[in-house]
Structure 1
Amino acid sequence: MRKGMQILNDPFKNKGTAFTMAERKELGLLGLLPNHVRTIEEQAAETYALYESKDSGIEKRHLLMEIFNTNRTLFFYLMKEHITEFMPVVYDPVIAESIEQYDERYLRPQDAAYLDINHPEDIKEELADAADGRDIRLIVVTDAEGILGIGDWGVNGVDISVGKLMVYTAAAGINPAQVLPVSIDVGTDNEKLLNDPNYLGNREKRVRGDQYFAFIDRFVTEVEGLFPRSLLHFEDFGRGTAAKILDKYQDKILTFNDDIQGTGIISLAGVLGAMNISKEKITDQTFLTFGAGTAGMGIAKMLFEELVRQGLSPEEAKKRFYLVDKQGLLFDDTEGLTPKQKPFTRQRVEFDNPDELTDLLAVVKAVHPTVMIGTSTQPGAFNEAVVKEMASHTKRPVIFPLSNPTKLAEAKAADLLKWTDGRALVATGIPAGTIDYNGVSYDIGQANNALIYPGVGFGALAAQAKVLNNDMIAAAAHALSGIVDPDQPGAAVLPPVNKLTEFSKKVAITVAQSAINQGLAGEGINDAKKAVEEMTWEAKY
């Protein structure tokens, strides 16, 4: 292929019509582009006008992906200009629809690495081929067993890795040429995909057990060998595997699990924000987590550790937590408990009627929670009866229906305000915007991991941290919770998405400083702000 055509087909180098005449001559592009030279501002205006002409979220995302696949700089310039509008389109909730339609809409592999469970011997070569000589610093990998609230989507789930990395760049400023999305294809238990002739992944049931974990071990080893300065971000792994992988590697390499740690950080930040508004202490709260899977247990663990940091003994802190899953309240003799659930279960002797605590309303009546967080994917579970019961026992109920996409949310923010006469402090998993109730405009915080993980990961990378530990993660939550004015009527518990780049930088500096303070930063790195600024990439030609 001619040199000029190679450049036009390389999204990391392509500028399209913005190449100057001098550049066209030097790079072998003469005659390959229309004569008029455009600025990036002109390109962005033209593209945005086309974007606005699209009728649906999925069509808008399809257009943006075409730009992403051909010109990374223009894509991220556009995203910075329209970040609030684009976030739900390039990521949650529209990405769920994109994943479901991945096979029908497949055009390009989006510079991802696709790894096959049946060929562990090829991992190194596959990663190297996908990186194509680039200095990879950040990898988002998924096996797509637990995608958002939609479950197992096999190789289609690669879109979640691509989307996460988009947010890392747009929010925190990591160079898009230094990232690598990875799909680990271990098969799928989704019968719809297995029976779909257009499905692009392995048409077999999910591989589990020793073969699976041996593949993960080899993958981690090859990543560390090929990209020793990288952060390995695990995304949307299943309930039975995510925590095992994190536990094995958290203290050995620079790694992060967004579903466990990211959801925990954003929930902790939201609760801290709610405490700023209510003027209450987090150590006085009673927590009910509805949905005790990967995300729910990550939240419980993060909140528990904060209570201990703030002076409670582990025994006292544990008494503040109640887990509710599909069986009802989880007891220490409940069948099928996961290792992450066991430390937070209750004893039946604590209750007069333990056998009746099989639904959410019964549990709320029995334990009087002041903070209720939903990761259950049970739509409407936080109904009027449950919410009014909770609100009758606490002045400012903290209620976070975090399940997404929209159709799976435990409640709507507007209903929570109505059912509590505006007293509820609410964060949602999907965008809710501003809600007017009784003359007050309530800003609803979005407990979206995108508010936190870009800054956390970028800060660790900028500091060249050896590991990403709990102290660094807690520092990030505190940094995020201090941004909103708590005395403003209708104040949100979390900052708005339109300030994403601003607070991502604050979080990154805080995390980098924590690494420096703990002696975990790279050699010679002692100025967190400088380290973050030096690593920040800007979308400009």
Structure 2
Amino acid sequence: MTAPLQPKRGATLLNDPVLNKGTAFSAAERDAFGLRGLLPPRVMTQDEQLERILPGVRARPTPIDQYAYLVALHDRNVTLFYRLVMDNLEEFLPVLYTPTVGQACEEFGRIFRRSRGLYVTSEDRGRVRDVLANWPHDDVRMIVVTDGERILGLGDLGANGMGIPIGKLTLYTACAGVSPHQCLPITIDVGTDNTALRESAAYMGVRDPRMRGEEYDALLDEFVEAVKERFPLACLQFEDFGNHNAFTLLEKWRDRTCTFNDDIQGTASVTLGGLLSAAKLTGVPLRDMRLMFLGAGEAGIGIGDLVVQEMIAEGLTELEARQRCWFMDSRGLVVASRTDLAEHKRRFAHEYDAVASLQEAVEQLKPHALIGVSGQPGTFTPGVLTAMAANHPRPIIMALSNPTSKAECTAREAYSATDGRAVFASGSPFAPVTYKERTHVPGQGNNAYIFPGVGLGVIVSESSRVTDEMFAAAARTLAGLVTPEDLAMGRIYPSLTRIREVSRAIAIEVAKIAFDRGLARTARPDDLAAAVSAAMYEPVYQSLI
């Protein structure tokens, strides 16, 4: 899918990042569109442009400087930006998303140069449709929206959270080939409770405390209805909302429009995929595993719910499956006798004595897998990791909190405390670790393995809903693409260099479900795999004449 060409000329054409080719405009195009003299005389190929630009990106001293450089490239030449990123995805994924995107959000005001996406504010109640009408592209198929309340593990960043929808949609294109002009990042700016941000001269958002309650709910209702009207084929992805709003919005809209929450469902899918792969290394099938979660918010409960469904598919009852999932929150083990539990935690509250510490819980319950989604760094202490290793020959350690500074433990800590026996994965990337003359390659449980492919499958099928069945299928597909060579290195996810292959495979399975369940709003193609491949954007220049 390609963006429609517009009859622009001269400097106007050069300032359109979708159509601009810079020095790659041919001599004929320069004459036809009034570009003669506005560019250096040499006509360069896209490969020659990359050869010129790539050293400049790599020369930047820090990841945040590389991020700013790449954003500037996107602002002037979208096609060249995506060619560079797709050709070097393993190198630049950590720059454009986790872990660097967290710092980019914190410094959003400093590095802001050109607006991307839409801002819907608390002052727009009653006119959200008018705001959405200002977006110049009609064929929007993928929207990522945040209200900035819970950005990664960094908390309330208000309007600065726009870096997350921008980053997510960059990955939709780079990892799955969703056309850039079909992507729309949106921030719902209802203020922030981050006082330091509100008082900062660089902050560009609403300088009020965060709006909550009935006013907030009414604004979000108006927003979702306006999206359905303005972009009827779009999939709406909720991202980095606070726990209460995240669960409420998902439950309210999941059966009424095409929507999902990546923090809940995407994280669940990539974690389930990792557990299914890890089972090949441990010899313990998922249905026989006990899981301990540190963190009982969106990510943890989302993983638990999807794992339960997969365990049921493997033959357990729902009760048996839930009893294999245990949760620790900031007040200790989630047990039935507690009176302080939020509604979303109660279905995992078991009859058991109160336990205050994670290490004590691990020693008593002997989980096969320890899954960190707490946002609390260093909580997988040497004592906790040693207890995991004492319980099982190959303990599964998944320190999934982002960014890197929030990880529950590092890869080296996990391998060292378990005498090199851990099956380790993390949310942010860690370098390979050599321990006792063996090199271990950590897996990265990055949602980028899941949501781009799911989105592509939804787009190809024009599905009216995104279902948990789709995320379970995505997890199985991901696990099925892990090779024996990956497992031999201790890696339970495929190499990031294969992510477009992964996304394509997931998209095919998701689209199959949409067609099989009567959710598709388009005719089923004779060759679904070919239709998915044909829908994947390739960043090559189009001739304007």
Please classify the TM superposition score into its range, dividing by the shorter chain length: over 0.9
Q: Secondary structure at the match of 2:256?
A: coil
Superposed CA offset, 1:434-487 (max 9, x none): 222233322211001111111111111111112111111110000000112247
Q: Which of 67, 71, 79 is the matching residue for 2:85? A: 79
Cα deviation, residue 517, structure 1: 2.3
Superposed CA offset, 1:123-162 (max 9, x none): 1222221x21342111111101110110110000101100
Q: Which of 63, 83, 99 is the matching residue for 2:105? A: 99
Q: Secondary structure at the match of 1:377?
A: coil
Q: Which amino acid aligns with 1:321?
A: C
The residue that corresponds to 2:290 in the other structure is: 286
Distance 2:347 2:422 in 1: 29
Q: Is the 8 A contact 1:463 1:528 kept in 2?
A: no
Distance 1:380 1:396 in 2: 21
The answer to whether 1:168 aligns with 2:157 is no
The residue that corresponds to 1:442 in the other structure is: 440
> In the TM superposition, what are the counterparts of 1:465-484 in structure 2 within 5 Å?
465-484=463-482
Q: TM-score, normalised by structure 1?
A: 0.96
The residue that corresponds to 1:316 in the other structure is: 320
Q: Secondary structure at the match of 1:241?
A: helix
The residue that corresponds to 2:495 in the other structure is: 496
Superposed CA offset, 1:324-381 (max 9, x none): 011010123434322211100122xx33xx3xx1111111122111111001111111
The residue that corresponds to 2:423 in the other structure is: 425
The residue that corresponds to 2:212 in the other structure is: 208
Superposed CA offset, 1:234-289 (max 9, x none): 11011110111111111121112110001000100000000122222111111111
Distance 1:68 1:510 in 2: 31
Distance 1:139 1:3 in 2: 30
Q: Which of 432, 448, 451 is the matching residue for 2:449? A: 451
Distance 2:137 2:282 in 1: 52
> In the TM superposition, what are the counterparts of 1:199-278 in structure 2 within 5 Å?
199-278=203-282
For structure 2, the residue ranges without an aligned partner over 5 or more in a row are 1-6
Question: CA distance change for structure 1 residues 361 and 530 in 2, over 3 Å: closer, same or farther?
Answer: same
Q: Secondary structure at the match of 2:260?
A: strand
Q: Secondary structure at the match of 1:392?
A: helix
Q: Alignment identity in percent?
A: 38
Q: Which of 3, 6, 21 is the matching residue for 1:15? A: 21
The residue that corresponds to 2:3 in the other structure is: none
Cα deviation, residue 81, structure 1: 1.1
Distance 1:522 1:135 in 2: 15
Q: CA RMSD in A?
A: 1.5
Cα deviation, residue 2, structure 1: 7.7
Q: Secondary structure at the match of 1:298?
A: helix
Q: Is the 8 A contact 1:484 1:491 kept in 2?
A: no
Distance 1:471 1:495 in 2: 22
> In the TM superposition, what are the counterparts of 1:251-400 in structure 2 within 5 Å?
251-347=255-351, 350-351=352-353, 354=354, 357-400=355-398
Q: Is the 8 A contact 1:485 1:491 kept in 2?
A: no
Distance 1:198 1:46 in 2: 33
Superposed CA offset, 1:368-419 (max 9, x none): 1111100111111111111111221112111101111111111111221121
Superposed CA offset, 1:65-120 (max 9, x none): 0001111100000001110110011111111111111112211112x101112222
Distance 1:118 1:332 in 2: 43
Q: Which amino acid aligns with 2:274?
A: G
The answer to whether 1:192 aligns with 2:210 is no
Distance 1:133 1:400 in 2: 40
Distance 1:6 1:376 in 2: 48
Distance 2:11 2:253 in 1: 42
Q: Is the 8 A contact 1:292 1:341 kept in 2?
A: yes
> In the TM superposition, what are the counterparts of 1:7-156 in structure 2 within 5 Å?
7-110=13-116, 112-129=117-134, 131-156=135-160
Distance 1:11 1:345 in 2: 52
Distance 1:439 1:255 in 2: 47
Question: CA distance change for structure 1 residues 2 and 412 in 2, over 3 Å: closer, same or farther?
Answer: closer
Q: Which amino acid aligns with 2:296?
A: A
Superposed CA offset, 1:217-245 (max 9, x none): 11111111111111111110111101111
* Most deviating of 494-503 and 443-452: 494-503
Cα deviation, residue 58, structure 1: 0.9
Distance 2:35 2:489 in 1: 55
Cα deviation, residue 24, structure 1: 1.8
Q: Which of 462, 465, 488 is the matching residue for 1:464? A: 462
The answer to whether 1:524 aligns with 2:523 is yes
Q: Which amino acid aligns with 1:12?
A: V
The residue that corresponds to 1:509 in the other structure is: 508
Distance 1:422 1:140 in 2: 39
The residue that corresponds to 2:11 in the other structure is: 5
Q: TM-score, normalised by structure 2?
A: 0.95
Distance 2:523 2:202 in 1: 52
Q: Is the 8 A contact 2:443 2:491 kept in 1?
A: yes
* Most deviating of 517-526 and 17-26: 517-526
Distance 1:528 1:256 in 2: 23
* Most deviating of 380-389 and 479-488: 479-488
Distance 2:409 2:280 in 1: 23
Q: Secondary structure at the match of 1:169?
A: helix
Cα deviation, residue 510, structure 1: 1.5
Q: Secondary structure at the match of 1:340?
A: helix
Question: CA distance change for structure 1 residues 2 and 441 in 2, over 3 Å: closer, same or farther?
Answer: closer
Q: Secondary structure at the match of 2:458?
A: helix
Cα deviation, residue 490, structure 1: 2.7
Q: Which amino acid aligns with 1:205?
A: P
State the number of aligned residues.
Answer: 533
Distance 1:31 1:76 in 2: 27
Q: Secondary structure at the match of 2:388?
A: helix
Q: Secondary structure at the match of 2:493?
A: coil
For structure 1, the residue ranges without an aligned partner over 5 or more in a row are none
Q: Is the 8 A contact 2:138 2:231 kept in 1?
A: no
Q: Is the 8 A contact 2:8 2:33 kept in 1?
A: no
